Amino acid sequence: MQVTLKNRLSKHELAELMTLSYRSLSCRSHDELKQLVLDLHNIFDFNNTLYARANVSNLLKSDESQPMEIYNISYPTDFLQNYLSNRHYILDASIRELVTNLSPVDCHSTTSRGSEEYIAFVQKNHFTSAQTWMHGALDLSESKMVGFSFVGPMSESSERVLEILKFIIPFYSEAFNRISRNVEKASFNLTPREIEVLQWIKEGKSSWDISVLYNCSKRTVDFHVENAKTKLNAVSRAQAVAIALHHGIIIF
C-alpha cells in the first residue's frame, strides 16, 4: 500500500498524509475531524465533502426506519435536503458498492447502475457531474459504517485519490467512532506476536516481508493478522492499524 502511495505522491504530499493520520489519533471533536477532512485539500483537489454514518444492514435491506446521519462540510445544502428527504441514499449505487466491497469507490462508474429515479436526481445537480469519490470503514461492534465523500474536478486522477483514501479514511473513521462513543481504552488481549505483526504492517511490510523477518511461512503471518483483525473488530489491515494506534497497542 505505502509503495503505491510513494509512486503517486511527492515526498511533501506523503509527509502531509502521514501528519494527518498522526493528527487523527488525538482528534476529539467533530470540528477537529472536519478540519482534518478539509486539510486533505493539500494532497488532492476537491470542492465538496461530507461524512456520514448509517446502519449497514438497513442500507442493504433498503430499510428507511433509521435514516443516515450526515455531517456536512461543504456540500450544497439544497442537494442534501433533497437527498435526505427523498431517501436517495437507499437507491445510491455508490453507497451500496462501498457497503458491499468495503473498498474506495469512484462514483462516476457506479451511478449509472442506480435506479432511474436516482440517476435523474444526480443529473439535475451539475456539481455531481464532476468526479466523486467515496470510502468508509465498518464498525463491526455496531454494524455501522462511517463513510466520507469528496467531489472534485475531472482533472484529478481518480486512481491517485482512491489510493489516498484507502490509506487515510480508516484513521478518520476511527476518529469518528472515538468522538461518537467516547469510549475508554479497551483491552483487546492481543498476543505479543500479533502486536509485532501490526507494528510491521504499520511500517509498510507485507505478509511475505514479515515471514522473512520471523523465518516462518506467509500463512503463519496471515493467521496472526486475521486474529488481530478479529480482536480489534477491524475489516481491513489499515483499519486494524488505525485502531491499534489509537489505543496505544502499537506506536506511531
Instruction: From first to last of the 252 residues of the chain, give the pLDDT tens digit.
Output: 445 787 889 999 999 999 999 999 999 899 999 999 999 999 999 999 999 998 887 777 766 555 678 899 999 888 888 888 777 777 788 888 998 888 999 988 877 676 677 777 777 765 656 789 999 998 877 788 999 999 999 889 999 999 999 999 999 999 998 888 754 455 688 999 999 999 999 999 999 999 999 999 999 999 999 999 999 888 889 989 988 888 888 877
Q: Please check whether residues 59 and 144 belong to one and the same domain.
A: yes
Residue 186 domain-assigned? Answer: no
Residue 252 domain-assigned? Answer: no
pLDDT for res 84: 80
Determine the Cα–Cα distance for residues 227 and 47; give it in Å rounded to an integer.
40
Q: Please check whether residues 200 and 175 belong to one and the same domain.
A: no
The sheet carrying 48-55 orders its strands as: 69-72, 48-55, 144-152, 131-139, 105-106
Residue 197 domain-assigned? Answer: yes
Residue 74 domain-assigned? Answer: yes
Closest CA to 149 of 191, 88, 200: 88
Closest CA to 174 of 245, 100, 251: 245
Answer with the one of 149, 181, 213 that is the final residue of a domain.
181
Q: Give the count of domains, the chain.
A: 2
Q: What is the CATH number of the domain that holds 221?
A: 1.10.10.10
Q: Please check whether residues 177 and 196 belong to one and the same domain.
A: no
Range of the domain at 210: 192-246
Q: Please check whether residues 81 and 106 belong to one and the same domain.
A: yes
Q: Where are the alpha helices (DSSP H) in 11-157?
A: 11-24, 30-38, 56-60, 77-85, 93-101, 116-123
Residue 90 domain-assigned? Answer: yes
Q: Where are the alpha helices (DSSP H) in 137-215?
A: 158-181, 192-202, 207-214
Extended beta strands in the chain, E state: 48-55, 69-72, 105-106, 131-139, 144-152
Answer with the one of 160, 181, 202 that is the final residue of a domain.
181
Q: Please check whether residues 48 and 102 belong to one and the same domain.
A: yes
DSSP code of 252? -
Q: Please check whether residues 215 and 106 belong to one and the same domain.
A: no
Determine the Cα–Cα distance for residues 60 and 66; give it in Å rounded to an integer.
12
Q: Please check whether residues 16 and 114 belong to one and the same domain.
A: yes
Q: What is the CATH number of the domain that holds 20?
A: 3.30.450.80
DSSP code of 26? T
Q: Please check whether residues 163 and 198 belong to one and the same domain.
A: no
